[in-house]
Homo-oligomer: A and B are copies of this chain.
Amino acid sequence: MARSVQITRVYHFSAAHQLASAKLSSADNAALYGACHRPHGHNYYLEVTVAGMPDAHTGMAVDLEALDRHVQRTVLDQVDHATLEDAPALAGVITTGESLARAFWRTLAPGLPTGRLLRITVVETAKNRFEYRGEA
């Protein structure tokens, strides 16, 4: 039996961020997060992986334009050329890569217009990648 195909679409945004816990003092935040407690920023790549069966008539498994619009509207419009801590979709989220991956899943999964969401990958730098595969 044929299995579905996985499509990974790569998006980009440039954002400022700052790791800080509202429950900690500034000194404790600096001790916990080190240099990441200072405001800084990244060229993030957001990779969205969805699964679908190629349609026999069109050869396409997902509607990439619909996916692009969904990601643009629910995520990129809030985080590109912005401060992550100001994005409504990230309210209450400490913006570590691992928490971003989970938050973006929770933002993108509801109302996903095409395919089945398999994996969210946040590429923070060339040395750090964070993947989330959703609720069990």
Contacts and interface: CB of A to CB of B under 8 A. Distances in A.
A14 B125 contact: yes
- Describe A's contact surface by its main secondary structure: mixed
Q: State the number of copies, please.
A: 6
A10 interface: yes
B9 A127 contact: yes
Contact of A2 (B21, B39, B59, B135): B135
A6 interface: yes
A81 B43 contact: no
Given A32-B58, A125-B14, A101 B5 contact: yes
Given A14-B41, A42-B14, A96 B35 contact: no
B14 A40 contact: yes
A99 B59 contact: yes
